[in-house]
Structure 1
Amino acid sequence: MTALHHPDHARHKLGRRWGLPRWRLVSMVCMSAALQTSPPVLAQTPPPLRVLLPQSLSAPFILWRDNTPAEGLDLDLVRAVAEHLHSRAELQPMPRARVESALEQGEADLACNIVPSPRYETSLRWSAPLFDLNLMLVGHVSAAPVDALGQLASGTVLGTLQGHPYPPLEALFGDGRLKRDDALSEDRLLRKLALNRHPYGLLSRQVLSWHAGSESMSSLDQWRLPVGSQAYRCAVSPRSRIEPRLVLEALEQLQQRGRIEQLLTRHTKPALAVVVSTQSSVRRINRQQLSELYTGQRQQLEASTVTAPLMSAGPERLQFLQGVLQLSAGQYRSSWAAQQFGGRRSPPLELRDAESTKSHLQRNANAIGYLPLSLVDASLRVVYMP
């Protein structure tokens, strides 16, 4: 390389032209090279997903410890949504009555497990139904069991949740045939029922199953009356800091990938009901009586009538054995092996599926069996649920 074209010579000429010392010129050239080779600026991290948690909810949806949300299905769900969005969930407990207005005003981004109030059905962005909440009428042990809402006396008071709409019963509340007694939370509603502050209450099957065996359930009768289903949905603020479309798409993706079904399996019990015909004289039964009936230790639930238990195939069989009888399939077979010897007693009648069981129950008032709750209609009476 000739002296004329040497880089140092070129920089020396530029320095003389601009009136800069050589060290300043070298510094500028190095800085320019560094800027040209800098890595691209990374995309900005999404803001936290602000989630409102209605303080009216209880386990299995939200388990509170010292008034702080500790665990539950709802918490796992919103954290999964935040993770899908590469964000994190920022949890904000709030009274149920304020949740929808707070979302509308942009105080938070998301709330789940709320039934839309008419006023907010269009102002908020709602997810598609994620699963069903089975609404049940339950009663204190001193209250008369009923097979239909029409059997309740006019003006009967039902325990309800403050700020919670009940679409299947709104007409009955509206004309005064039924009256609401609002509680601030599901836990308080259960306590009021246990104290017989009102004879009946409305709670989801999922909540009742989670509390089964607890002190708050000891004064409640075993029968249940299904009064309809409410869709579990999430609401997104139109002023969400994360684009509402992305939040709704995250919920849809979680459902399509089976993540929500996994959460249901983890946090809730199967929707299984022990039922009889509405023509049966059996109004209620406890787990101990069921166990004795299905293992041959008892033949009657009432003094004058033999009760015929039924077993059916399908996934409900294992759910019933494990969740109600608390036996494995092998233990159940063993319990009948000795009794069948010599023809002393016969095990429960075996039917091929749930539909066959339902048909048999409808035709035989002395039979008792188990069904998925989805198959229970007005011809059947729920006498026990795990």
Structure 2
Amino acid sequence: MSISLAWGPLPAWAEPLRFVVDTSVSLPYAKFEKGELKSGLSHQLGLDLAKRLGREAVFVPVARKRITAALERGQADLICGYASAWLPGPFQWSQPVAQHFELLITRADMPPPQRLEDLAGQAIGTIAGFRYVTLERQLGLKFSRDDGPDAEALLRRLAAKRVAHAIVSRSYLDYQRQVLGFDLALHPPLLLEKTDLRCALSLKSALPLKQLDEALQAMHKDGSLHIQH
């Protein structure tokens, strides 16, 4: 004889906290092995935040273009490290978790742009599915994107002289130079935008925004949340 111990759905506090992770990002943000997130800043933030909330972290890899749909359908609770301008949708947004410094980098063998208007019509290495609000606003239809699948592809295109410019985050460029030895000669980067990054919370998540913000605030105070992008 068997006895069922299923008493209905687990209370929200006992259920895993499901984090969407963008599959187009790479270290220092995320390292995937056989399709699973194994390490990186996104991984550590998820583990720390879930622990603070008394939950287990579960990571849900999702292609960038499908992130909005995944959150709207309740396939995950939240994604952290995004800005509302990048991710339109009916989400609740947390307090800031980090700052993102978006840089335009230019090969040293090419003339550096003196102003954004100098980039009109020039091919710029970009990541497919990602929005670049500053250049969209300044250049409009003259913003010429050359999309790659991820930031690593953009640096390869620069090195191969397929493009003269690319857009990367400051922390990604620092990681490539300091850890992986990327040594392509570049002009001093041009800061395009500084943006507060937050967590987008699905309306179908049982986690209250107030509880999320309280956990993030506590992490700020004890120094466990100090990520810059």
Q: Mark yes or no: TM-score above 0.5.
A: yes
Q: Any runs of at least 4 consecutive aligned residues in structure 1 with deviations exceeding 4 A, and if so which?
A: 213-216
Structure that is richer in helix per residue: 1
- Write the letter of the residue equivalent to 1:140: R
1:135 to 83, 86, 102: 102
User: Residue 76 of structure 1 corresponds to which residue in structure 2?
Assistant: 44
2:165 to 197, 200, 212: 200
Q: Is the 8 A contact 1:136 1:224 kept in 2?
A: yes
C-alpha offsets along residues 160-216 of structure 1, whole Å, 9 cap, x if unaligned? 122222222222342x23211222212222222222222101111110000005778
Question: Tell me, which stretches of 5 or more residues in structure 1 are unaligned?
Answer: 1-42, 269-386
1:146 to 109, 113, 116: 113
Aligned equivalents of 1:191, 1:66: Cα separation in 2: 23
Does residue 93 of the first structure (1) align with residue 77 of the second (2)? Answer: no
Bigger Cα displacement from structure 2, 96-105 vs 187-196: 187-196
> Secondary structure of the equivalent of 1:217?
coil
Q: Give the direction of change, closer, same or farther, for the CA distance of 1:119–1:151 in structure 2 (3 Å limit).
A: closer
Q: Is the 8 A contact 2:103 2:167 kept in 1?
A: yes
Q: Is the 8 A contact 2:117 2:139 kept in 1?
A: no
CA RMSD between the two structures: 2.4
Structure that is richer in strand per residue: 2
Residue 62 of structure 1 and its aligned partner are, at CA, apart by 1.3
- Write the letter of the residue equivalent to 2:31: L
Structure number with bigger Rg: 1
Q: Give the direction of change, closer, same or farther, for the CA distance of 1:173–1:217 in structure 2 (3 Å limit).
A: farther
> Secondary structure of the equivalent of 2:14?
coil
Does residue 156 of the first structure (1) align with residue 122 of the second (2)? Answer: yes
Residue 50 of structure 1 and its aligned partner are, at CA, apart by 0.7
C-alpha offsets along residues 66-116 of structure 1, whole Å, 9 cap, x if unaligned? 543221111111111111111111011111111122111211001112232
User: Residue 48 of structure 1 corresponds to which residue in structure 2?
Assistant: 16
Does residue 184 of the first structure (1) align with residue 123 of the second (2)? Answer: no
> Secondary structure of the equivalent of 1:208?
helix
Q: Give the direction of change, closer, same or farther, for the CA distance of 1:136–1:187 in structure 2 (3 Å limit).
A: same
> Secondary structure of the equivalent of 2:82?
coil
Aligned equivalents of 1:188, 1:114: Cα separation in 2: 21
Q: Give the direction of change, closer, same or farther, for the CA distance of 1:247–1:183 in structure 2 (3 Å limit).
A: same
Correspondence 1:196-345 to 2 at 5 A: 196-212=161-177, 217-261=182-226
Does residue 168 of the first structure (1) align with residue 134 of the second (2)? Answer: yes
Does residue 108 of the first structure (1) align with residue 73 of the second (2)? Answer: no
Q: Give the direction of change, closer, same or farther, for the CA distance of 1:211–1:173 in structure 2 (3 Å limit).
A: same
> Secondary structure of the equivalent of 2:225?
helix
TM-score by length of 2: 0.84
Q: Give the direction of change, closer, same or farther, for the CA distance of 1:101–1:220 in structure 2 (3 Å limit).
A: farther
Q: Give the direction of change, closer, same or farther, for the CA distance of 1:143–1:66 in structure 2 (3 Å limit).
A: farther
Aligned equivalents of 1:199, 1:221: Cα separation in 2: 10
C-alpha offsets along residues 140-173 of structure 1, whole Å, 9 cap, x if unaligned? 3432223322333x31111112222222222234
